[in-house]
Amino acid sequence: MSKIGIFNWHRLFKTDKFYLLVCASSLFVLIILFAITVFLLFSAMPALESSQTGLLGISWYKSSEANNILDFCLPLVFSTILSSLLALVIALPVSIGVALFITFYAPPKLAAIASWVIDILASIPSIVYGLWGIFVLCPFLNVFTGNLISSPPRVLFTLSIVLAVMIIPIITSIIRDIYTGTPHLDIEAAYGLGATKWEMIRLSVLPYGAQGAMSAAMLGLGRALGETMAVLIILSPGRSYSFNIFGVSSHQTIAGNIAAQFPEANSLGVSLLTVTGLVLFIITFLVNWAAKKIAKSGVANV
Amino acid sequence: MKNSVFTSLCFLCLVLVLSGCSVDNDVSQFKLNPNQSNIDLGLRGQMAGSGATSQKNSIDAWKLGYNAYYPNISVAYDPKGSGGGRKDIISGASIFAASDKLLSDEEIKLSKSVCGSNGVIQIPTYISKIEIIFNLDNIKSLSLDNKTITAIFSGKITNWSDSLIKLQNPQINLPNKLITVVRRSDDSGTNDTLTSFFSKTDESLWQWGETSSWPSSIASLSQGAQGTAGVVIVSSLGDGTISYADSAQVGTLGVVAMDNPIMQISYMLACSHYNDIIAGQFVKSWLGYIISKSGQELSHNVSNSMVLNDSQTNQAKKDIDSITIGKENV
């Protein structure tokens, strides 16, 4: 009777102050999300409504030689997704490996230390990763790439490695928690059938954690998509749909482009950058939605 | 202030790298001892300017020199590139600007709405050399003729062991190494100077004319970096890189010996009229100091720039005198 809709109105009006507080907190988050959406839409409007001639007044739009806004956004979207997916391809196997090691192989003391190191990695600011990328990783890769590609290798490949290192902690810690929760019965059953440790992991742990791992991967992907500082520092910017991840000046991500052009942007330029920001917002929203969806179906199966 | 973090980082690094040739020392050598009567304590405030990265070193020195006369003025200069500087003064976002390139007619017209009926005035303040710089192990100097340089930057010559380069440097053991061109990715006046030089050298090699942003059709043959500091840092990190920078900022990189130097005139931009009395007085005294003998010699000392000749100085003086201050009577 007292429960109408999602709120427990009875408790609300019976001055349960704590209940009021937690409701207000969650409402606050909703309002912020709404405000960001409205802000993006409003400030994107001038650019969306502007004619090509108007947009050509923006120097960096002009030099991009784009025919319209879509034409301007798509190479950025392409590079953003390409770099993030590549980062994910590198990060996911490593993360699963680390998580398995911590949960099943490492002696308890070492596992604790490894977990702690992973958490430390997660807390390093992205600009530090960026500086490491340009001052350490680039010269290091240069030793191997030598005469094959432009030197220093400020290319998408290098960027993806740095992005991978950045998202490994978050993916690892989620997967670790899931693997820890593998039902003991499953594990015992596998061993009961005479499975080795690897076979036990393959039969019990990996299937149990598959959905969770996918969902963790999506969250990592979300982080890689929006990364700015590392991109700005490492990548030599360019515009193309090239799959050549070793090609210099061929890629630029949405977030990197916003950071690079913002200081020089007039009001229409800022609006155009907001359009690209809106696109990024939609992409990350979809990725998170997919993560939720996968996680949910995982729970349903278990 | 609105500088991208990468640029500021690069500058930070560059300052660290260059701290060996400490600006302070050079200033103290030219320590101006203004008479007590020359010091103006009355003029006070914070004055903002922005623009060319090429003049940055000299502006840092000029700030100190100027403060000997006007200790209560603090000058803030944002080296965001010539294009950004021109935009700022046209829109009224800054009091003065520095640019490696003269304003276009369009820009002059635009400037008339905020800068008085005569628009922006442009005074040459900094004449310097653009050096072609490179990073090759154990090689500090190379000679290349104009045509070879143009061919390298247009992507026609891609290896250091190219026969044309070898021919001009018989005594040097050139490595079989890819040439990486590093160029400015921002809207840069140095790009204008350089591309105009390429264009004049050989139009069939360099087909893109004079441009402040690197031609997009050959952009993927080279690496982009922001600001003079950016290209210098990327060049030092790479192996076999070639780039260009104001001679004051080449750092420890190798320098190409050229047939004839690429000179660049960089300008200070100011309004022809200031409604704000303090801003007007500041600009007049600031520019007056920069073109003065001591200002120019200071710049020569820190940036190796050329001192303005007499006719340039006289013209500049006239232009500065023509700046009007106060309520405009239209």
The residue extents of the domains of chain B are: 21-128+265-325, 129-263
CA B167 and chain centroid, separation: 33
- What pLDDT sits at residue B132? 96
More confident: A17 or B45: B45
pLDDT, tens digit, 9 for 90 and up, residues B201-244: 999 999 999 988 898 889 889 999 988 889 999 999 999 999 99
Which residue among A148, A247, A263 sits closest to B2, beta carbon to beta carbon?
A263
Average pLDDT score, chain B: 86
Q: Please give, rounded to a whole number of angstroms, the shortest distance from the CA of B26 to a CA of chain A.
A: 31
Sorting pLDDT into bands at 50, 70 and 90, what band is B297? very high
- Using a CB–CB cutoff of 8 Å, tell me whether B187 touches chain A: yes
Domain-wise residue ranges, chain A? 3-47, 54-301
C-alpha span between B240 and B142 (Å, rounded) = 13
pLDDT digits (tens, 9 = 90+) for B87-121: 899 989 999 999 988 898 888 998 998 888 889 99
Q: Choosing among A134, A138, A149, A236, which should be mutated to test the B contact, i.e. which has the most B CBs within 10 A?
A: A236
Cβ neighbour number for residue A27 with a 10 Å cutoff: 10
Q: Domain B21-128+265-325 carries which CATH code?
A: 3.40.190.10
Alpha-carbon B125 to chain mean position:
10
Looking at the partner chain, which of B216, B219, B239 has a beta carbon nearest the beta carbon of A142? B239
pLDDT at residue B41 tops 70: yes
Q: How far is CA A189 from CA A62, A183, A204, A205, in A?
A: 65, 10, 9, 12
Quickly state the pLDDT bin for B33 (edges 50, 70, 90).
low
- For residue A103, the tally of other CB atoms under 10 A from its CB is 21
pLDDT digit string (tens) for B111-165?
998 888 889 999 999 999 999 999 998 899 999 999 999 999 999 999 999 999 9
Q: What is the CATH number of domain B129-263?
A: 3.40.190.10
Contact A236, A260 (CB under 8 A): no
Average pLDDT for runs of 10 along chain A of length 302: 60 74 92 94 93 87 88 95 96 96 93 91 91 94 86 94 95 93 92 92 92 91 93 92 92 94 84 95 91 72 48
Residues of B (118-147) whose Cβ lies below 8 Å from A: none
pLDDT digits (tens, 9 = 90+) for B218-228: 988 999 998 88
Task: Tell me the three-class secondary structure of chain B, residue by residue.
Answer: CCCCHHHHHHHHHHHHHHHHHCHHHHHHHCCCCCCHHHCCCCCCEEEEEEECCCCHHHHHHHHHHHHHHCCCEEEEEECCCHHHHHHHHHHCCCCEEEECCCCCHHHHHHHCCCCCCCCEEEEEEEEEEEEEEEEECCECEEECCHHHHHHHHCCCCCECCCHHHHHHCCCCCCCCCECEEEEECCCCHHHHHHHHHHHHHCCCCCCCCCCCCCCHHHHHHEEEECHHHHHHHHHHHCCCEEEEEEHHHCCCCEEEECCCCEEEEEEEEEECEECCHHHHHHHHHHHHHHHCHHHHHHHHHHHCCECCCHHHHHHHHHHHHCCEECCCCC
- Tell me the pLDDT tens digit for each residue of B168-180: 999 999 999 999 9
What pLDDT score was predicted for residue B1? 42
Question: Is this prediction's pTM over 0.90?
Answer: no
Mean predicted lDDT score pLDDT of chain A: 89
Fold of A54-301: MetI-like fold (1.10.3720)
pLDDT for B25: 33
Whether residue B2 and residue A262 make contact (CB cut-off 8 A), yes or no, is yes
